[in-house]
Structure 1
Amino acid sequence: MSDTSILVLVGSLRAGSTNRQLAEAAIGVAPAGVDLTIYEGLADIPFYNEDIDVEGSVPAAATAFRDALAAADAVLVVTPEHNGTIPAVLKNAIDWASRPFGASPITGKPLAAIGSAYGQFGGVWAQDEARKALTIAGASVLEEIKLAIPGSVVRFAEIHPKDDAEVVGQLEAVVQGVVAAVSEKAAA
């Protein structure tokens, strides 16, 4: 059993996405005692609807997602940018994670948002939107932890992020920052 469990939410559903590869690379740099796990069920969660978010009616996929969030010590969001903002699948996950408001499984949980995008800014708009929505949802967003990799389609056309020394170093710092936030929360 690991000392620190970090749930990774990848905003792209595409199997070969650079953001999924970035998440895989983050898993590879996790130090001993730290377990990063990509949540594989985001595509299965129905669109948030308050009519089905009642005891006895919550879809199994939403319950499984909330349970995974509750079991994690922290969350790492790895997102592309879709039309200048976060992908719908990630926004939907945030909506499910935010309820019940104030007592949701994400309330107070350390969370960092990073990612890559084809454009010249590396998806910073999507990351900022994710941070904003997750702050409102109740997460303890780690504003100081940032990583935006521009030109991802070209940069990672022939190399996986795990083989890019600069990216590996940046991911190590991200993971260390999240782990430090978990330790600080536990000590408080």
Structure 2
Amino acid sequence: MKILAFAGSNSDVSINKKLVTYVTTFFTGDDVEILDLNDFEMPIYKHERELESGIPQLAKDFAAKIDGSELIIMSLAEHNSAYSAAFKNIFDWISRIRDRKHFGDKPIFLMGTAPGNGGGKNVIEVFMKRAPFSGANVIETFSLPNFRDRFEEGKGITDEQKLDELKSRVQAVKQFFSN
């Protein structure tokens, strides 16, 4: 299976990138590509800019990555209870590409993590409300609160209960594709 994975963050030390990278290790034998949003940095979307210059090639490239995948695994950073500006800008640009749904009706394993108790639940909720209108078929979600207390470099999730929950969610994603 072709899997596209990314964190909805442009931070060089993104905890969401650490989480999404870790989760892809549960998909051994699959073709996994992990994107860095920094490789898709574009001018902030503006209608007049689109009229002047058209849709940037980077937006088309990101959309092509989505279209070429069978599963999207993403972990969204939560900035003030919503998407990061980096993710939102890419989302805005790909939404302007004609004759395609933003996320191509691809199955999505949606995650979020944060240093605090919320664990990215607000941004997950925001995305879930938007998903039906954006061609995002969210098949599973996972939230990891208190990242620094529950995740260790080189080991992954150290909280047994959250690790068991993640494994259960990963199994449900795999089951989705075996039906």
State the TM-score bracket (shorter-chain normalisation).
0.7 to 0.9
1:134 to 119, 131, 136: 131
How far apart, CA to CA, are the structure 2 residues paired with 1:37 and 1:112? 15
Between the aligned partners of 2:174 and 2:46, the Cα distance in structure 1 is 33
User: Could you list the per-position Cα deviations for residues 109-144 of structure 1 after superposition, in whole angstroms to 9, with x for gaps in the alignment?
Assistant: 1112111112212110011112222322122222xx
2:161 paired with 1:164? no
Q: Identity percentage over the alignment?
A: 26
2-structure distance, mates of 1:101, 1:161: 43
Deviation at 1:28, TM superposition (A): 1.4
Paired position in structure 1 for 2:10? 13
TM alignment of 1:109-188, pairs within 5 A = 109-142=106-139, 145-156=140-151, 158-160=152-154, 162=156, 164=158, 166=160, 167-184=162-179
| Paired AA for residue 147 in structure 1 | F
The separation in 1 between residues aligned to 2:150 and 2:157, in whole angstroms, is: 11
Distance of 2:87 and 2:27 partners within structure 1: 23
Alignment-mate amino acid for residue 141 of structure 2: K
- What residue is the counterpart of 1:35 in the other structure? 31
Of residues 82, 89, 94 in structure 2, which corresponds to 1:92? Answer: 89
| DSSP 3-state at the match of 2:156 | helix
When residues 101 and 118 of structure 1 are mapped into structure 2, their CA distance, relative to the original with a 3 A threshold, is farther
- 1:174 Cα deviation after fit: 3.5
1:65 is displaced (CA, Å) by: 0.6
Which blocks of at least 5 consecutive residues in structure 1 are unaligned?
none
1:46-61 residue pairs with structure 2 within 5 A? 46-51=43-48, 53=50, 57-61=54-58
Q: Partner of 2:19 in structure 1? A: 22
> Are positions 1:71 and 2:68 aligned together?
yes
Question: What amino acid is aligned across from residue 46 of structure 1 in structure 2?
Answer: P
User: Are the aligned partners of 2:72 and 2:106 in contact in 1 as well (CA < 8 Å)?
Assistant: yes
1:173: Cα distance to partner? Answer: 3.5
Matched positions, count: 176
Amino acid corresponding to residue 174 of structure 1 in structure 2: R
* Structure holding more strand per residue: 2
Normalised by the length of structure 1, the TM-score is 0.77
Q: Deviation digits for residues 2-55 of structure 1, max 9, x if unmatched? A: xx11211201222222211111111211132x223221245513323344557x
More contact order relative to length (CA 8 Å, sep ≥ 6): 1
Q: CA RMSD in A?
A: 2.7
